[in-house]
């Protein structure tokens, strides 16, 4: 009798877990909740003109002049 009760409990547990999986994964109640939105359209910036880009190491600094981070003699 004990074996049959344990076997029935295992069978009911497997059926219950299977039913929950089918309910949540296969047949969702709100199918639009899992639909992802598309990526936003990237912004367009005017990159014509503007400031000339020069490498930092080409700048000649005077001794003791502070750099952009505030440290002396970067």
Is a pLDDT exceeding 60 seen at residue 3?
yes
pLDDT tens digits, one per residue of 15-41:
999 999 888 887 766 666 556 677 888
How far is residue 63's CA from residue 21's CA, in Å, rounded to a whole number? 71
Q: What pLDDT score does 62 carry?
A: 59
pTM of the model: 0.38
Task: Give yes or no for residue 10 having a pLDDT over 90.
Answer: yes
- At residue 72, the pLDDT reads 59
- pLDDT at residue 6, rounded to an integer: 94
**To 10 degrees, the CA torsion angle through 20, 26, 29, 35?**
130
């Amino acid at each position: 009798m004990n074996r049959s009760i344990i076997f029935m409990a295992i069978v009911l547990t497997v059926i219950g877990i299977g039913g929950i999986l089918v309910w949540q994964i296969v047949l969702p109640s709100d199918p639009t909740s899992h639909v992802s939105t598309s990526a936003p359209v990237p912004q367009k910036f005017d990159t014509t003109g503007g400031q000339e880009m020069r490498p930092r190491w080409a700048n000649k600094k005077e001794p003791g002049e502070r750099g952009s981070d505030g440290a002396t003699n970067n």
